[in-house]
A = this chain, B = another copy of it.
Amino acid sequence: MTRTLTPPAPVTLAAFDAMFEAVKNWGRWGPDDERGTLNYLTPDKVAAAATLVHSGRTVSMAIPINKVAGPDNANPAVHLMSLMHDIPISESGLSFGMCFLGMASHGDCHTHVDALNHVAYRGQLYNGKPASLLTSRGSEWGSIAAYATGIVGRGVLLDAARHRHVDWLEPGEAVTREDLEAIEAAEGVRLGEGDILVFRTGHHARRLALGPWSNEYPPAGEGKAGLHVDTIPWMHERRIAAFLPDGDGETVPSNVEGMPYPIHALQLTAMGMCISDSLQLEDLAEACEQEGRWEFMVVGLPLRLPGATGSPWNPIAIF
């Protein structure tokens, strides 16, 4: 059973810009801060998150890395052997298999985390840093290395597909602030300062059922379900530390006139929010049902890659 909502009225670019200013955290944690909303996630909140662990069940939120080209995988991962059992070490009988992995960090079908140097708006990165910091060697400032000690905290799954009693939201459907609060009420949870919002539209369930589709700008493709931009001031008020969606949070086509990726611009560039892309939340959704709760400890660990604009990763929930 699926239903399509009436799409909310489009947001003007002027309204978007006003919102950008309103949620802007530039300077909030100092002029050189590169952790952004992770500043909300203090050690005491890490410790509190650990108390959510009861059963010890761990659930991966990552899609297996995809080596096959497709409409959402223009640059499939290169995975090859750099050494195989053909080269025994001495006469000892030992042989080794060794891998080489090459992949784009921001592929639409690879679970990854974005660094704060990933998106600039009008020539500026988060905290007002110039986009020109970003060179063909990356940018030391705001790189994924700033998240080296990991994202550890209380995660709450707001499951929009479950709430609407559908297998997945259809491309183009947008989840509003009102919706998020309704889901909170239904699940009996409330997100607060330093929490990690895990957000499910069923994007990956749709992919598993119907196959991959193109959801990239500029080609129209079929679009994507995601957030309405009015959820961003809500996240700002609630002081959310990190955002982990299936899909990438964006509704495609966008709700903002003439602006693709408004969610990324508001989250990464204005707020300095830690965001991830393209999670696999099907296993988590099932685990939440079985455990009867929608909160858990989250751990996400980016690779320590200096200068990088992001990293593939495999974040988990611990119940």
Contacts and interface: CB of A to CB of B under 8 A. Distances in A.
Nearest to A98: B106
A86 interface: yes
Interface in A129-177: 131-132, 134-139, 145, 148-150, 152
Interface string A71-101: 0011111111111111101111111111111
B312 A150 contact: no
A66 B63 CA distance: 26
A73 B62 contact: no
A5 interface: no
Looking at A47, A69, A100, A261, which has the most chain B CB atoms within 10 Å of its CB? A100
A98 B105 contact: yes
Interface stretch (A28-36, A50-58, A202-210, A230-238): A50-58
B217 A138 contact: no
A242 interface: no
Contacts of A312: 101, 303
A74 B69 contact: yes
B318 A301 contact: no
B299 A301 contact: yes
A166 B256 CA distance: 52
B46 A218 contact: no
A45 B134 CA distance: 44
Interface stretch (A112-120, A178-186, A220-228): A112-120
Contacts of A316: 149-150, 152, 299, 301
B149 A97 contact: no
B43 A55 contact: yes
A42 B149 CA distance: 25
Contact of A75 (B43, B76, B217, B260): B76
A149 B73 contact: no
Contacts of A117: 97
A298 B154 CA distance: 17
Contacts of A54: 47
A104 interface: yes
- Ranked nearest first, the 8 interchain pairs of A and B with the lowest CB-CB distance are A43-B56, A46-B56, A69-B69, A50-B53, A86-B135, A102-B102, A47-B56, A84-B136
25 contacts: A43-B55, A43-B56, A62-B303, A69-B74, A75-B78, A78-B82, A78-B102, A79-B308, A80-B82, A82-B104, A87-B136, A96-B118, A96-B119, A96-B120, A97-B118, A97-B120, A99-B104, A99-B106, A99-B138, A101-B102, A102-B103, A136-B136, A150-B299, A301-B314, A302-B314
